[in-house]
Structure 1
Amino acid sequence: MDANEFNPDGVGVANGAYFGFPFAPDDAELVLLSAPWDVTVSYGAGTAYAPDAIIEASTQLDFYDPAAPGLWRRGIATADVDYSLLEHSHRLRAEAAKVIEHLESGGRVTDDHVVRRIRRVNEGCAQMNDNIRAQASAWLSKGKTVGLVGGDHSTPYGLIRALGERGGEFGILHIDAHCDLREAYEGFEFSHASIMYNVLRDVPAVRRIVQVGVRDYSEGEARLAAGSERIALFGDRDLALARFAGAAWAEQCRRIVDALPQDVYVSFDIDGLTLENCPHTGTPVPGGLGFDEALYLVECAARSGRRIVGFDVVEVVPRAEEPVDAAVGARVLYKLCLLTLLSKMRGGMV
């Protein structure tokens, strides 16, 4: 379908693209990558199926948005999905599951019969990172803004690396139930629980990670967050205590946005939301941000004059019989697309 023939008020088009949009990546302002991958998930699996499920659910959206009316017309395109990642994920997931079972039974990562498995998983995850990094770099070099749909939370690493190689500093607005600051969790260097640790280690262009809504993390992660000038932690408990004392959410959002530099990457783990928004996510945690609260925060960043330079949506676990997870993921993705395009306009004003 030609873009000029696309009817945003018509029936959703199941053309294999997010939202059924007809834009080709070369002609769009924003390109969406997909990462069907969940090798190192340590509890519930299934995020590897999220890209396809979100594509399917996204055709049920209506496209008018009062926060950014008509901005989708600037072009939101879907890059070809590399399904070899999904096949590789399935193979390595079996290896990782055996390692996790061994550790949960009291074993160690140094035990001989898991060392090779851990090495194979780490090598495979590094290859996935290189794949995403290469895809992202190709589109960034063409002047596109790039977003990513995971997959587990390890998958945006390659995109963040690619952005870091473009020059200039940026910050990360990290919405999540977890800090993801563990070093090589369960022996897996590129674990979903290690992405922000790896970013701090490998991407000096990331000036600060502003973590919002986190509520389930280790003592080691707490020490790292408290001791690093590159981390600002707005934990779920502190946000709730301020709310109980009468602080408006708008006031709290101003404090969070003030901690961000001019250029911002948004990493949106769906488990940062309350459970009714992500009932099947891999590591569910009570508490969290409401759907509107989380997206109001991103809108505040977009309207503050800051520029959103990229984003991801991760940890959505779809269920065929219960469409909530994919439906919420699709709507979070659409809002992030629009707010990213909005942020690139002067002052975030339409």
Structure 2
Amino acid sequence: MIQLLGVPFDANSSFLRGPAYAPQRIRWMETEGSANSFSEDGHEFIPGKNYRDVGDLSFESTDPQAAFQLIKSQAKSLIQGGDKLIALGGDHSVSYPLIDAHAEKYSGLNILHFDAHADLYENFDQNLYSHASPFARLMETGRINSLTQVGIRTLNLHQREQAKRYGVHVIQMKDLTDSFLQTLQAPLYLSLDLDVLDPAYAPGVSHHEPGGMSTRQLIDLIQKIPFEIIGADLVEYNPKRDLNDVTAMVAYKLLKELMAKMMRD
């Protein structure tokens, strides 16, 4: 069974707030959008049969340590019996406790990270828990076997140094092919920031970074992953910047494709 969890937390956003509203808006597309409940490979998603929506976490504080403790605790609880978890953020900082929970369960965890940004800052704006820093926090734990970042188009000197320091495999958007898929290892967790897409396809994100993937490119890459995904998150959708729910529909489509990749045939 796949567990679907909303993580409406955006207190670590460095530019705009809004991703906290994302989980509910994405869910609405199941009934208010124009799509059906099937993935492209023919999986139908039926609540209670192959997935269970456990609702949204409720945060009493914006303190990141308290929030992350709650996120990690809930994630560990949901996956301890063998179920898989897909989380709807939220800003990208929530990926740190989500993935850390998986790293404690799955020895030698590998991460595939789709994003315009590397999110490897050691300390962004004096916030160790910034949404620009989750992968630095994860790599410094020593529990991550490999991190592959795809679609990056904002590397600066510091992040290049961080990638080298932690042995990160970075595929910049300008160099993108699908050959990286053959280097991936299991167990694999997938973290998907919607701004990996060009803003033409996903205007509802806080950081518009032109030159990104098309929706079709991203779906094709997800479908070509050569094995199951053991956990995933979809983050950084900002409904406050969306146009006619275009990005919400993209997020719902990607959610179905991620769930299909996580299901056992």
Which band: TM-score by shorter chain?
Answer: over 0.9
Show the counterpart of 1:209: 147
Amino acid at match of 2:169: A
Which segment drifts farther, 193-202 or 63-72? 63-72
Which segment drifts farther, 73-82 or 145-154? 73-82
- Is the Cα contact below 8 Å between 1:175 and 1:272 reproduced in 2? yes
What is the TM-score normalised by the length of structure 2? 0.92
Query: What is the CA–CA distance in structure 1 between the aligned matches of 2:26 and 2:230, rounded to whole Å?
Result: 22
Show the counterpart of 2:160: 222
Query: How far did residue 227 of structure 1 move?
Result: 4.4
Q: Which deviations, in whole Å up to 9, do the C-alpha atoms of 1:187-215 show, x marking residues without a partner?
A: 1111100011111012x332111100000
What is the TM-score normalised by the length of structure 1? 0.71
Show the counterpart of 1:48: 20
Q: 2:253 aligns with which of 313, 322, 331?
A: 331
**Higher RCO, 1 vs 2 (CA within 8 Å, ≥6 residues apart):** 2
Query: How far did residue 307 of structure 1 move?
Result: 2.5
Give the secondary structure class of the aligned counterpart of 1:185.
Answer: coil
Name the structure where helix makes up a greater proportion of residues: 1
Query: What is the CA–CA distance in structure 1 between the aligned matches of 2:18 and 2:160, rounded to whole Å?
Result: 28
Q: Which deviations, in whole Å up to 9, do the C-alpha atoms of 1:245-285 show, x marking residues without a partner?
A: xxxxxxx21x2112211211110000001112221311110
| Identity level (%) | 26
Show the counterpart of 1:261: 185
Q: Which deviations, in whole Å up to 9, do the C-alpha atoms of 1:82-101 show, x marking residues without a partner?
A: 23x2x634xxxxxxxxxxxx
RMSD: 1.8
State the structure with more CA Rg.
1
Query: What is the CA–CA distance in structure 2 between the aligned matches of 1:268 and 1:76, rounded to whole Å?
Result: 19
Which segment drifts farther, 311-320 or 211-220? 311-320
Show the counterpart of 2:39: 65
Q: Does 1:310 align with 2:249?
A: no
Query: What is the CA–CA distance in structure 2 between the aligned matches of 1:238 and 1:223, rounded to whole Å?
Result: 19
Q: Does 1:82 align with 2:19?
A: no
Unaligned runs of 5+ in 2: none
Which segment drifts farther, 256-265 or 315-324? 315-324
Query: What is the CA–CA distance in structure 2 between the aligned matches of 1:176 and 1:52, rounded to whole Å?
Result: 22
Which segment drifts farther, 325-334 or 55-64? 55-64
Amino acid at match of 1:293: Q
Shift of the 161–228 alpha-carbon distance from structure 1 to 2, 3 Å rule, reads closer
Unaligned runs of 5+ in 1: 1-28, 90-123, 240-251, 346-350
- Is the Cα contact below 8 Å between 2:40 and 2:257 reproduced in 1? no
Query: What is the CA–CA distance in structure 2 between the aligned matches of 1:150 and 1:65, rounded to whole Å?
Result: 21
Query: What is the CA–CA distance in structure 2 between the aligned matches of 1:65 and 1:195, rounded to whole Å?
Result: 30
Query: How far did residue 56 of structure 1 move?
Result: 1.2
Q: Say how many residue pairs are matched.
A: 261
Amino acid at match of 1:49: Y
Query: How far did residue 297 of structure 1 move?
Result: 0.9
Q: 2:198 aligns with which of 255, 271, 274?
A: 274
Query: What is the CA–CA distance in structure 1 between the aligned matches of 2:205 and 2:249, rounded to whole Å?
Result: 13
Give the secondary structure class of the aligned counterpart of 1:80.
Answer: strand
Show the counterpart of 1:295: 219
Within a 5 Å distance, the mapping from 1:112-131 to structure 2 comes to 124-131=63-70
Query: How far did residue 131 of structure 1 move?
Result: 0.7
Amino acid at match of 2:203: P
- Is the Cα contact below 8 Å between 1:232 and 1:259 reproduced in 2? no
Give the secondary structure class of the aligned counterpart of 1:127.
Answer: helix
Runs of 4+ in 1 over 4 A off after TM superposition: 71-74
Q: Does 1:180 align with 2:119?
A: yes
Name the structure where strand makes up a greater proportion of residues: 2
Q: 1:286 aligns with which of 193, 210, 214?
A: 210
Q: 2:94 aligns with which of 123, 134, 155?
A: 155
Give the secondary structure class of the aligned counterpart of 1:280.
Answer: coil
Query: What is the CA–CA distance in structure 1 between the aligned matches of 2:253 and 2:7, rounded to whole Å?
Result: 18
